[in-house]
Amino acid sequence: MKILSFSRYSVLLVVLFLLLIQASVYPQGAGIIDLPGLDKLPVIKELPDPFLLNNGRRVSSKADWAKRREELTAMVLYYEYGHLAPAPTNLTATELSSKKVEELNATERQLLLSMGPGGKIGFHLILTIPGGKGPFPVVVKGDLCWGRVAPSMIADAVRRGYITAEFDRTELAPDSAGRTKGVFPAYPGYDWTVLGAWAWGFHRTVDYLMTQGFVDPKHIAITGHSRGGKAALLAGALDERIALTAPNGSGCGGAGSYRVLGEKCEDLAAITNRFPYWFQPRLKEFVGHEDQLPFDQHSLKVLAAPRAQLSTEGLGDLWANPLGTQTTYLAARQVYEFLGAGDKIGIHFREGKHAQNEEDWKALLDFADWQFFNKKVATQFGRLAFPGAPKGFAWSAPR
């Protein structure tokens, strides 16, 4: 196990650094405001305090938090994911097929969503809708590029009254370095990355779902596995219509920490070497200088607060850094508790390796049942897999 050392960083250095940053969240389509480069950023050994405003003052109210949320959004977009294109106003849906699934008492609909300049951006969406009147809560998963959600998992969702919505995120942007396909040619003025494009696909799926009378618009959950989980976490952070964000095994660049590294886990050097196109090029500058990042992945998680959030993890999935994910969960929970929503964030560990399996899916549906409908469930969502590990930060929520 490797854990970067922690100490309380100098208040003076932090204040000086924070005074350098005066930009808030970038308006869609606006020019990018430069933030400090590596040479101007101080070392912060522990997970940075999300309650420190850019003016050096600490958050003391919900109004302060709204401002701080804008500041954190600006940082993660500038240094990590790039800036997403705005929502198009011309989204249309073409039904390609519809059939009854008798054994489930459900209907399966296959659609093509089209949008963007000239309507040239398109991706497929498959809905499995329970029988009955609705409206129904929805679980959106963007991993259709790897195949359909397992029939047993869809059956569990239908039995509980949930729509399963599946789309192929790679239709928005191929999982490669080129920028000649998908969304990139349509929006050349944006510095978004492949992960940003995939997150944008979740947002466009929600656009469509919000127009359908059979959908419960207040109870939309999103999930994804591995790199799909990274995209889901970003999508949920940026879209307040998403009521529950549930990344699974999302690891480095997702729910895992850059500063707290468990045994044999992926780190910033490994991921930016193999998949540089997932991230803004500025992020790679922090390889070997992770303790100069002005944020860590708890800073992304807290953007969803106080909306519900769940991380599901495999204890044998060492590459995805379950230890670091526990650390960001504990840090993000401080913000949730400050907002009076401590029970809205959860984590679930299971035995096993890198997959989103039936146990993960059941945990997601249990958490959704609890959060959306206050149903009693047996699953526990706060049990730590590494109770003796260093917490990773010394700060706490303001009182």
At 280 the three-state DSSP class reads coil
CA separation, residue 92 to residues 186, 187, 250, 394 (Å): 17, 18, 31, 49
Alpha-carbon torsion, ordered 92, 144, 238, 156, to 10 deg: 100
The pLDDT of residue 34 is 86
Of the candidates 187, 189, 190, 144, the one whose C-alpha atom is nearest the C-alpha of residue 167 is 144
Predicted pLDDT of residue 11: 37
pLDDT at 9: 40
Phi-psi region of 100 (alpha: psi -120 to 50; beta: other; left: phi over 0): beta
- 3-state DSSP call for residue 20? helix
Contact 273, 304 (CB under 8 A): no
pTM: 0.93
Terminal CA-CA length for the chain = 34
- In the structure encoding, which two tokens stand for residue 42, read together? 């101080």
| Burial status of residue 148 (CB atoms within 10 A of its CB: 0-12, 13-18, 19 or more) | middle
Question: What is the predicted pLDDT for the residue at 10?
Answer: 39
Where are the strands (E) in the chain, listed by range?
2-3, 92-101, 106-115, 121-130, 136-141, 163-167, 215-225, 244-248, 260-261, 308-314, 345-350
Distance of CA 151 to the CA centre of its chain: 25
- Digits of tens for pLDDT over the chain (399 positions)? 444 444 434 333 343 343 343 333 333 344 567 899 999 999 999 999 999 999 999 999 999 999 999 999 999 999 999 999 999 999 999 999 999 999 999 999 999 999 999 999 999 999 999 999 999 999 999 999 999 999 999 999 999 999 999 999 999 999 999 999 999 999 999 999 999 999 999 999 999 999 999 999 999 999 999 999 999 999 999 999 999 999 999 999 999 999 999 999 999 999 999 999 999 999 999 999 999 999 999 999 999 999 999 999 999 999 999 999 999 999 999 999 999 999 999 999 999 999 999 999 999 999 999 999 999 999 999 999 999 999 999 999 998
Question: Three-state DSSP class for 273?
Answer: helix
356: nearest Cα among 248, 257, 272, 203: 248
Q: Where are the alpha helices (DSSP H) in the chain?
A: 11-20, 62-76, 151-160, 194-209, 227-238, 268-274, 297-301, 322-338, 358-373
Q: Which two tokens stand for residue 140?
A: 């959106």
**How is the chain split into domains, by residue range?**
2-81, 92-279+295-373
Three-class DSSP category at 143: strand
Bridge partner list, 345: 309
Phi, psi (rounded to 5 degrees) for 249: 50, 40
Per DSSP, the three-state class of 142 is coil
Topology given in CATH for the domain delimited by 92-279+295-373? Rossmann fold (3.40.50)
